[in-house]
A and B are shown apart, each in its own frame.
Chain A
């Protein structure tokens, strides 16, 4: 089976600092892929190269190939708006807009030009249901998104990402600001979402990677040290560095 995303020999630079070195990695469709590693290892930078979010920072540069369904997302003719519609993102801090819950969810369809009220209502309801938030907020859609609890805000952000019907969802430490119960809810949600979407999650939490993902990549100092099935990587790591990290000897 062809991978959903294939990255080949990706180097990434912040100015003259190299943050990724020759990262080659395939991401499978309808699977959850976790990226682990200590702070500053390049896992977030890698994640953000998959929807070209790094470009919003001045002075950055990527070398190598990032293919989405076999097409290079960094080639000249690619429309970034179209790319980001296909590859959605959930951030570390829940970051709802200071708008109502409803306006938050339909922000994506709105900027992409959808004006039909019925269609927007439908997208809002479907996305909130898919994010497991509908029952909690259906009577208060006109309330501010910022009035929700942290866990609810993060699920609102997931609903917001789902509303543009993406194919891939990138999650950048989505639970690091949440309590254990909210974390559990998001992990359950991920298991539901992978049926329809491809999920890549960066996490600091090795238990989370072990629990929730099928594939795991271990990054260290900008390099992908080891990549494989999660159960294999955690029980029989091939590399000494991976073993040291997952047994808690550093990081």
Chain B
């Protein structure tokens, strides 16, 4: 028996609709579970006191919030210029040779390496050989290694998709290659570059394993680049594995989710404003 095209169309529509629905439901369930169980634990005291440890996971998460902010700032300050520099080189200046093809392939490959492998590398190099010890600096440098391939690839994609016509327009007006890159290509690629940067912040916030082995896990308030620290994600891991305070872990998870949500909203806001300014659409 052959089904009429109308019926196959309906079946396909139903299946597509169902998969979309499952994805949304799963997301709502996970977030809902974490937030519903975690939210009652959150109050000002929880946010503003140090973790005290112990089997009950006593105390709050103040130092974890501060550590998380530290690691975001240090990682992004180091990562952004390196990643963008590599992207500019690969997209605008790199000759089409085997070596460059190999570099590009290497970047792709690195982007797929599990993060704990970067953690071990960071432990071996930054913590041990370079004697940065368990510190925010070691953790941030490890994350830079982890995220640089990703940022480079995203930013390179964004720059390569700037149309040839706009590049030629700049050159035809007497711009040098660098002026073309700095004044036309990078601004035009900015929405894509920003998206990459935001996603990197998201990963910085959510990584736990590579930081656990490079930042240590001190619950003390960090007082500088060289002090050990514990980010929110590491704290969730610690609470879940070492204590029986699941509620506290979920509460910390809730704070994490909110932090990521805020970051995303902020980025959307910025890239929409950029879009309006550049394209004249709203």
Contact = CB atoms under 8 A, between A and B. Distances in A.
B202 interface: no
Contacts of A56: 167-168, 171
Contact of A147 (B163, B166, B179, B280): B280
Nearest to A170: B172
Contacts of B276: 144
Interface centre among A98, A146, A147, A164 (most CB of B within 10 A): A98
Nearest to B184: A97
Interface centre among B167, B173, B179, B276 (most CB of A within 10 A): B173
Contacts of A234: none
B169 A97 contact: yes
B174 A157 contact: no
A146 B165 CA distance: 14
Interface string B173-202: 111100100011001100000000000000
B281 interface: yes
Contacts of A107: 170, 173, 175, 183
Contacts of A110: 183
Contacts of B172: 51, 53, 84, 88-89, 91, 161
A91 B168 CA distance: 9
Interface string A119-159: 00000000000000000000000011111000000000100
A61 interface: no
A147 B275 CA distance: 12
A160 interface: yes
B181 to A, nearest CB: 12
Contact of A146 (B175, B179, B184, B279): B279
Given A53-B168, A157-B169, A98 B174 contact: no
A111 B278 contact: no
A6 interface: no
Contacts of A53: 168, 171-172
Nearest to B163: A95
Interface in A49-74: 51, 53, 56, 58
A76 interface: no
A160 B176 CA distance: 17
Contacts of A108: 173-175
A78 interface: no
12 contacts: A53-B172, A56-B167, A56-B168, A56-B171, A81-B175, A89-B168, A95-B163, A108-B175, A144-B278, A146-B278, A146-B280, A147-B281
3 smallest A-B Cβ distances: which pairs?
A147-B280, A144-B280, A98-B278
